Structure 1
Amino acid sequence: MKKKFIVPVILSSALVASSFTATNVLAQPTDKTWNENANVPIFVKEKFAKKRTSSNASNALDYLEENEKKTGLKNPKKNLKQKETEKDSLGMTHVRFSQTINGVPVEGAEVVVHYSENDELVSVNGSHFPGVEEEAIDTTPSESVMKAVQAAKKAVEAPEQLEYNPVSELVVYPFDGENHLAYKVNVNFLGEKPGNWFVFVNANSGEVIDQYNAIMHADDIHQSVGTGVLGDQRKIHTTKENQSGQGTVFSLSDESHEGLEGIYTFDANDGEIMTHHSASWKDEYLRPGVDAHYNSEQVYEYFHDEHDRNSLDDNGMAIISYVHYGDNYNNAFWNGRQMTYGDGDGLFMVPLSAGLDVAAHEMTHGVISNSANLQYRFQSGALNESFADIFGTLVDADDWEVGEDIMGPDAKEDGRVSLRSLSDPSKYPVNADYVPYGNGEGKYPSHMDEFYDLPRSLDNGGVHINSSITNHAAYLIGEEIGKEKLGQIFYRTLTVYLTPTSNFSDARKAAIQSAVDLYGEGSAEAAATADGFDSVGIYE
């Protein structure tokens, strides 16, 4: 039987219904599974005469059913399952669907139907895998979940003791030209090589199909005062307790925010919430914890005050940080559940919790996981990293650099005064292993002409490298309209329009549409957004 490449079709934000290939406008990853020959046809945009009745999802499916030829979605009433419906601050309603086969979700395939404040259907975007519906896919697994979890743990060399139990889900997984019935197993652990692995195990043979690590590397409430890593004085919320045999103890536990479960900062050395005998947190060992605790609250307040978002999941989930992780560990990461900060080696980096933009970067990964959930590979992964960088510079709004407060003396002496620059990405070189895949100059790219065509095995296909292209677009837009408006546009882009497999072209269209939603058709903000993406070579 001849194999067919299964590629996602993107319903994008162009105002026309004609189709064209992504390869016409963007450099593409070498992994054909992801998007070579992937069509990017339409962001269906029109007024839908029929108003919503009691079932918004029902009317959305009616529209999709009537417009199969326009969208390419076959039998949507059978193959789409409502995921969620949200009404935003503009009064628009957004109905998000997952593509399914016999009720089993197709990995990465989501379609979003958007209604105006007047209950008119105005647009549809997202991605789906055409042809999957026509294949005879047996969605009854013959292997058990337990065996799949064991296979996943073995594949990623997980330690025997895990901080969290693996989570599994049965999915249809289009990969390497075939549609597989698979268990998607999330294995999460710390240790010397921390992992937030997603492993796809064939639900019939028990063999591992694919895997990738999505570790994303950066009783009464009391007002305490602490000193941060760089000597800054911090006002932090702690909890005062009387413990038997220890007297009064203050802990880095903040439950002062209504509707938020809490902000908690742990010491990775003992796995316990950090405590101190005094309300004055000045000891050197405590300083990384003071910064992590303080910065977590600052990021929480930014998303709450600017975007009316209640924590990372918009539902008040606890914000958890670990400090003192590893030995001379020059990194920080979001592992799908918490922020973790190394202390640095003191030469190239100081303790990473010192950086407000680093905290904002890592916490934004949590926002992304609970909104667009951008897959952490190739262009969708680069968007994941880019949005984390962009919001890092919006929360820490003094400049357009990421990580300027965590660089050690040796790094500064060598000219590395930050991790990445949105204003001038090419000021820093990339890893030597990546150079052959770029234009030969070996610098972070700021234009699609400099795109790194990295394989899946290097930087997950360039998630930290090619992110600087959309970073630079955001910088150009922000310089034109200001950081506050940039934040509004990109937050809406992330939470309303992007889906797990969105690429750079989708992000452009979604950002422009978000600017139109917020500031109007023909507005200076919409024009600046288009110009920013044009300037870095990201077109429709």
Structure 2
Amino acid sequence: MEPIIAPRKPVKRSRGRDRKRMPALAKQGKGSIVMSGLRGINANGFGQSYASRGMRALSSRLQRLERTSLKRERTAPQSARAADPDAQKYNLLLAERRQLRSSSSDAASRRHLETLLQDLDSRPMLAVTAPDRPERMPTMTTRLVGVAPDIDANTVTYQQSSGEVPIFGARVVVDVDRESKALVAVNGQLAPPPVRPAIARLSPIEAWRRLADWCAAPANLTDPAVAPTLTWYVDDAGTEYLTYRFRNTQLTPPKGDEVERDADPVACVRHARPGLCSYDYLVDAEDGSIRYYFASAPHFVPSPMCGIDCANELRKFYGLKVGESYILNDPQRDIVTYDYKFGNISEEPIPALPETAMPFPNHDIGDASPAAVSAHWHATLVFDFFNDVLKRNGIDDRGMKLVSVVNVYSGDDTSPTRPQWGNAAWWRNAMWYGQEKDATGTLMSFARHLDIIAHELTHGVTSSSSNLVYRDLPGALNESFSDIFGVFIANWYPEPKPVQDWNWEIGAGLGRNGGALRNFANPAAVGQPDHMRHYEPLPEYQDYGGVHRYSGIHNRAVHGIVTALDGDGQPIIPIRDAALLFYLTLVRLTPTSNFSAARRTLETVAGVYYADDPRREERLKAISEGYDAVGIV
């Protein structure tokens, strides 16, 4: 396939009525390595990169034409004014603005995106189309229409497809002003449409068997529970492949010959057993080869309850009164906490959850279960942060149930260390908490770590928004955003601390020699590289391509941005603003976004957010300098 940006002069296109229109977009429900076949698209209505048909451009043209028309009206007779071409342009542009304002967010964003892609004067257009083949325009499908209240915009998410077949990683998010429907921002990646028909030579079952053989699956493996979907995949060289995408399979890719997957001690929280990981696979629909794969990353009246947590603190929270019992089920937030009674999640099939949340005879459960209190209380704090500060409706932004499971074991049933399992993980749309003995021999639950819980639950936010693949630099970015909100939430409660007093470590006591797992201020202190000059691609079998190892580079950039102070010693970007900007960036990334894509998207979002702020350039400079300091360009 030809490169998206051709190394020759672009072909001129007509801007008149004969210009090819973008195909109609079908409405339907929601469903790095930046690959050579995918190119980033980032623009906003307040910069120089896009100003063709947005409301801002329309307004300026209308003002110029209005001044010209008024001047001629004083000197020209009525017959001449009727034939005045500038007056006719003014009327057409005014009608265009009224039409844009009265259209739906979907229609307006589609029009902005079409214009952006066809505007030869726009640099983003050159990044997403083949200039030497102007007849090829991407086909987009509306996946989600939402609201971004903090930038007063409606958000429309598109998935690029070829016919009915989606293109992996090709996704665009368009923000339009809620009232005027003017363009606010565009972020995403697009690819040239495939040139060959989507005809599969293998059946889905044949592709599944090829995948099973590659993974050395047992002979009694059953067929997949969910049928695969045909998906176009574009590799690093820009070559297109028609594949079957199998989602959330329990098939584990073969290990490498050099390094075990759990060899890297820098982990999140710690490496899970391979059997606990689900994988997505893209299997070639013609020859059955594995083209790409990655780890898949879960009307009642509430009753006040209280109890002692793992830190021996009294916590107040909500549950539900059922008969004569009180259970850990907060119906207001839809937070439920279960006792797994040290069941083994490594078994096949895994033991089922109890039928009800943890029950207690009284609303004051005292010290009956510090692990359950910590899990329920910390889940409440994380929910409140995303709901109250970031205006997100739960983990998936659709009010999904937040499930916590304490007293979990994973491993050999005959192990002398059972029931110790030193881990916590977001898995199968739930939080699972293990436990370890402290120096006194007391079992201490991992639910005691608020930063770890926030980190893991953010994986759920990521999987239901940008869905960054858990591999290579996209996976490291996935880890970094979990670290970001882990450290933000840990420093937010019981009340937000001044940034100068923040603790920038994640997982204190869980790392090497009793240290931390992460250190934003000094990644090298926990064995992580702190600059892109230290980045070397790793094979997938080694920490999934370095997802934990290299997250520290982006973390250090974030630390520089958040701790940048002005002349009065105050944060250049206020802490609440920083939390919102990083969140808006996360949900606008694409599955294969890398560190550079995160920088471009954050700069675009911040440019929109601070559009009318007199300190806009100062704040944007702080972002640029934070990324420059670690070599992310």
- Give TM-score, length-normalised by structure 1: 0.78
Structure 2: runs of 5+ lacking an equivalent? 7-31, 44-48, 59-95, 251-271, 344-350, 410-418, 492-501, 565-570
Return closer, same or farther for 1:41/1:197 CA change in 2, 3 Å cut-off: closer
SS for the counterpart of 2:397 is coil
Q: For residues 332-355 of structure 1, give each alpha carbon's deviation from its aligned partner in whole angstroms, at most 9, with x where no partner exists.
A: 222251222221354799421111
CA contact (8 A) 1:47 1:121 kept: no
SS for the counterpart of 1:487 is helix
Given the alignment of the two structures, is residue 531 of structure 1 paired with residue 625 of structure 2, yes or no? yes
CA contact (8 A) 1:332 1:339 kept: yes
Match of 1:254 in 2: 330
Given the alignment of the two structures, is residue 235 of structure 1 paired with residue 235 of structure 2, yes or no? no
- Residue 513 of structure 1 deviates from its aligned partner by 2.0
CA contact (8 A) 1:226 1:282 kept: yes
Structure 1 distance, partners of 2:136, 2:51, is 19
Match of 1:223 in 2: 304
- Residue 466 of structure 1 deviates from its aligned partner by 1.1
Return closer, same or farther for 1:70/1:351 CA change in 2, 3 Å cut-off: same
Match of 1:280 in 2: 364
Match of 1:291 in 2: 374
Q: 5 Å matches for 1:73-472?
A: 73=129, 79-89=139-149, 90-116=151-177, 118-121=180-183, 123-130=185-192, 133-139=193-199, 142-144=202-204, 155=215, 157=217, 165-166=225-226, 168-175=228-235, 178-187=239-248, 193-205=275-287, 208-215=290-297, 220-242=301-323, 248-257=324-333, 262-268=334-340, 269=343, 271-272=353-354, 273-283=357-367, 286-326=369-409, 327-335=419-427, 337-344=429-436, 346=438, 350-397=444-491, 398-404=502-508, 407=509, 414=513, 416-429=514-527, 444-472=528-556
Residue type at the aligned position of 1:377: R
CA contact (8 A) 1:149 1:166 kept: no
Q: 5 Å matches for 1:39-78?
A: 43=43, 44-48=49-53, 49=58, 51=97, 52=100, 53-54=103-104, 55-64=107-116, 66-67=118-119, 70-73=126-129
- Residue 305 of structure 1 deviates from its aligned partner by 0.8
Structure 1 distance, partners of 2:479, 2:488, is 14
Residue type at the aligned position of 1:70: L
Given the alignment of the two structures, is residue 492 of structure 1 paired with residue 576 of structure 2, yes or no? no
Q: For residues 158-210 of structure 1, give each alpha carbon's deviation from its aligned partner in whole angstroms, at most 9, with x where no partner exists.
A: 99899x95464321123475433222222366988312211223345555444
Return closer, same or farther for 1:140/1:462 CA change in 2, 3 Å cut-off: same
Q: For residues 21-70 of structure 1, give each alpha carbon's deviation from its aligned partner in whole angstroms, at most 9, with x where no partner exists.
A: xxxxxxxxxxx986479766864432523542342244135314533763
Structure 1 distance, partners of 2:445, 2:363, is 22
Match of 1:510 among 601, 612, 619: 601
Residue type at the aligned position of 1:355: H
Return closer, same or farther for 1:228/1:338 CA change in 2, 3 Å cut-off: same
Query: How many residues in Structure 1 have an aligned counterpart in Structure 2?
Result: 477
Residue type at the aligned position of 1:322: V
Indicate the structure whose relative CO is greater, using CA pairs within 8 Å and at least 6 residues apart: 2
Q: For residues 429-460 of structure 1, give each alpha carbon's deviation from its aligned partner in whole angstroms, at most 9, with x where no partner exists.
A: 2xxxxxxxxxxxxxx12222222432222112
CA contact (8 A) 1:376 1:463 kept: yes
- Residue 157 of structure 1 deviates from its aligned partner by 4.8
Structure 2 distance, partners of 1:343, 1:185, is 33
Larger mean CA deviation between 331-340 and 374-383 belongs to 331-340
CA contact (8 A) 2:557 2:627 kept: yes
CA contact (8 A) 1:289 1:323 kept: yes
Return closer, same or farther for 1:180/1:71 CA change in 2, 3 Å cut-off: closer
- Residue 490 of structure 1 deviates from its aligned partner by 0.6
Return closer, same or farther for 1:129/1:266 CA change in 2, 3 Å cut-off: same
CA contact (8 A) 1:81 1:98 kept: yes
- Residue 467 of structure 1 deviates from its aligned partner by 1.0
Return closer, same or farther for 1:252/1:166 CA change in 2, 3 Å cut-off: farther
CA contact (8 A) 1:333 1:340 kept: yes
Return closer, same or farther for 1:142/1:161 CA change in 2, 3 Å cut-off: closer
Structure 2 distance, partners of 1:105, 1:421, is 39
Structure 2 distance, partners of 1:506, 1:375, is 14
Match of 1:22 in 2: none
CA contact (8 A) 1:97 1:111 kept: yes
Structure 1: runs of 5+ lacking an equivalent? 10-31, 243-247, 430-443
| Percentage identity across paired residues of the two chains | 27
Structure 2 distance, partners of 1:65, 1:39, is 12
Structure 2 distance, partners of 1:255, 1:293, is 12
CA contact (8 A) 2:211 2:288 kept: no
Structure 2 distance, partners of 1:502, 1:447, is 18
CA contact (8 A) 1:265 1:289 kept: yes
Structure 2 distance, partners of 1:33, 1:104, is 22
Return closer, same or farther for 1:304/1:41 CA change in 2, 3 Å cut-off: closer
CA contact (8 A) 2:311 2:448 kept: yes
Larger mean CA deviation between 164-173 and 484-493 belongs to 164-173
Structure 2 distance, partners of 1:61, 1:310, is 27
- CA RMSD in angstroms comes to 3.5
- Residue 283 of structure 1 deviates from its aligned partner by 4.4
CA contact (8 A) 2:335 2:379 kept: yes
CA contact (8 A) 1:46 1:121 kept: no
Structure 1 distance, partners of 2:188, 2:471, is 17
- Residue 306 of structure 1 deviates from its aligned partner by 0.6
Structure with the greater alpha carbon radius of gyration: 2
- Residue 252 of structure 1 deviates from its aligned partner by 1.4
Return closer, same or farther for 1:160/1:142 CA change in 2, 3 Å cut-off: closer
Residue type at the aligned position of 1:339: M
SS for the counterpart of 2:167 is strand
CA contact (8 A) 2:157 2:173 kept: yes
Residue type at the aligned position of 1:323: V
- Residue 314 of structure 1 deviates from its aligned partner by 1.2
Return closer, same or farther for 1:192/1:222 CA change in 2, 3 Å cut-off: farther
CA contact (8 A) 2:38 2:170 kept: no
Structure 1 distance, partners of 2:230, 2:507, is 39
CA contact (8 A) 1:299 1:395 kept: yes
SS for the counterpart of 2:552 is helix
Larger mean CA deviation between 195-204 and 390-399 belongs to 195-204
